[in-house]
Structure 1
Amino acid sequence: MKNSRRPGTKPAAKSGQRPQRNPAPGPAAKAPAKKPDGQRVTLPRALSKLGYCSRTQAEELIRNGHVAVGGKTITDTEAWIDLATAKISVDGKAVAAETFVYLMLNKPRGLVTTRHDPQGRPTVYDCLKDHDNAHLSPVGRLDKASEGLLLFSNDTQFANALLDPKTHVAKTYHVQIDRLPDAATLEALREGVTHDGEFLSARRVELLREGDRNAWLEIELIEGKNRQIRRMLESLDISTLRLVRVAIGELLLGELEKGAVRALTQEELAALKPQSGGG
């Protein structure tokens, strides 16, 4: 059969193939602005990636003239550098990439989650005296009256991903309350409550066990707002007697003694990183 296609026309595209289109005539497209490659980062980001400090801390160091690149002091917090070749120093001391460290602590009650407390109270770093903790930061917080699983790391990317609400990494708590909860109380906690105009909710609330006058609940959060569980209970006129974080994602507090610190195993870290969006 002769091809009935008219001269000057293109054959129709076969099934499953995209038809080819010629670009519409017009002015040449402008080249997109060149983006920094994978080795070029801002100076605060470089100090963070090297595990020296957080980006916020790095910006303060830079502004105050403590940071030099190639021997030249840099005070511009938006300066870009080549991370692969730049020689960075802080107060004259060279900064090199640190080995990433991942620790877990069973935080005792009465310690504040900060390195230096203006009121002179004991801090979680008192438990890390046997570790080189100069650049370790807590991954999240537990308030003074709370206990349990607290992570420390100098891997800021890992820490930020684990804390990002978008990753939905669950934190599980065992909470002792000052009464025996009825079904309506448990349902109210599951549905969410309002405290000081803010809606607070838990992903899961279960009754663990009851005594004569009080009970233990298991509460799972994915938000992690300030004093969230205590505030949720306060909204129902319930007092928190004890609050213990027992798990972060698949990482369990287990039998770690109060005040004790240990490194995460490779298996534990591998289980946490996919949950946090890490590599």
Structure 2
Amino acid sequence: MQRKNRLSKPKTTTPKKTSIEYPVRINKYISNSGICSRRDADKLIQEGRIQINGTVVTELGMKVEQKDEVKFNGKVISPQNFVYVLLNKPKDYISTMEDPENRKTVMDLVKTACDERIYPVGRLDRNTTGLLLLTNDGELSQKMTHPSYKIKKIYQAELDKPLTSNHFEEIANGFTLDDGPVTVSDIAILDTTKKNIGLQIHIGRNRIVRRIFENFGYEVEKLDRTMYGSLTKKDLPRGKWRFLTDKEIILLKNLT
């Protein structure tokens, strides 16, 4: 179980933004517009949903000049500056853009971060705390949440009762839930109560950590995500956010 953070203290105080150089391939242009990944952009092109200067394009290698007008489903799109925000999510906030029940969302915590429209990468449930990445980089977001990339996540769970040795071994060795097999990369008992458990996983199914312990008769009373990919909570208090450093962005993109 990794417990030490080797990243230096973040020095970035303004958003890291990326620019686009022309001419640019149409799929990259679409991806940089925040709509989807390049792979999905290719599908949109093949489906005839992209126009350049009023003409439907189906050629994947087409390049766009800065003066060109590009439309998706009839609406003009343009590349955005990419912004990457890391939030240490507190309890009682939901990981959505808005909520029909007017509950607090993570967007309330980052509304002053930037002018760009950023989105949560994946979700933490309302009662789970810890690291949540928000960005308008659609391609990175999709890769960070797609199972095939097996992004590392470390959680600290506080259980309602001590974890037995038998259950520890069963979790460590892998088992099966209703929606498929569960493989835990690492598990550690963090104190003498045997209630505080560290868990490293590379899967991202819904409520997976809580369901792991529920499967063996435990209730997770507290759950905190302490590492996401190469990102850690160092120097980031609960409820606060910061922009990623150049180094952190590069490390994340190397993971995917």
Question: Same fold by TM-score, threshold 0.5 exceeded?
Answer: yes
Q: Which amino acid aligns with 1:83?
A: V
Aligned counterpart, 1:145:
127
For 2:101 and 2:119, the matched residues in 1 are separated by: 20
- Work out whether 1:124 is the aligned partner of 2:103: no
1:135 corresponds to which of 111, 117, 124: 117
State the superposition RMSD in angstroms. Answer: 3.2
Bigger radius of gyration among the two: 1
The offset of 1:93, in angstroms, is: 8.6
Counterpart AA for 2:65? A
Q: Quick one: higher RCO (CA 8 Å, sep 6+), 1 or 2?
A: 2
Q: CA separation in 2, counterparts of 1:232 and 1:139?
A: 22
3-state secondary structure, aligned to 1:189: helix
User: Matches of 2:32 and 2:243 in 1, distance apart?
Assistant: 20
Alignment partners' CA distance in 2, 1:150 and 1:133:
19
For structure 2, list consecutive stretches of 5 or more residues without a partner in the other structure: 1-22
- Map Cα deviations across residues 52-107 of structure 1 (whole Å, 9 max, x no partner): 33479xx99xx9x9x9753x4x8x89797643353136899964322211110001
Q: 1:265 aligns with which of 240, 245, 252?
A: 245
Stretches of structure 1 lacking an aligned partner (at least 5 in a row): 1-37
**Structure 1 residues 1-34: Cα deviation after superposition (integer angstroms, max 9, x where no partner):** xxxxxxxxxxxxxxxxxxxxxxxxxxxxxxxxxx
Structure 1 107/78 Cα, relative in aligned 2: closer, same or farther at 3 Å? Answer: farther
Q: TM-score, normalised by structure 2?
A: 0.75
2:165 is aligned, of 178, 183, 188, to 183
Q: Tell me the secondary structure at the aligned position of residue 229 of structure 1.
A: helix
* Counterpart contact for 1:110–1:145, Cα < 8 Å: yes
1:202 matched to which residue of 2? 184
Tell me how far 1:163 sits from its aligned partner. 2.4
Q: Residue in 1 aligned with 2:224? A: 244
How high is the sequence identity, in percent, across the aligned residues?
25
Secondary structure at 1:175's aligned position in 2?
strand
What letter corresponds to residue 268 of structure 1 in structure 2? Answer: E
SS for the counterpart of 1:209 is coil
Q: Distance in 2 between matches of 1:273 and 1:164?
A: 14
After superposition, the Cα gap between the structure-2 partners of 1:183 and 1:103, relative to the gap in structure 1 and judged at 3 Å, is same
User: How big is each residue's C-alpha offset from its partner over 1:155-210, in whole Å with a ceiling of 9 and x where there is no partner?
Assistant: 12222222233322211111111111122111111122333353222111111113
| 2:209 counterpart of 1:229 | yes
Alignment length (residue pairs):
226
Report the equivalent of 1:171: 153
How far residue 218 of structure 1 moved from its aligned partner, in angstroms, is 0.7
One-letter amino acid of the structure 2 residue matched with residue 141 of structure 1: R
CA distance in 2, matches of 1:135, 1:219: 32
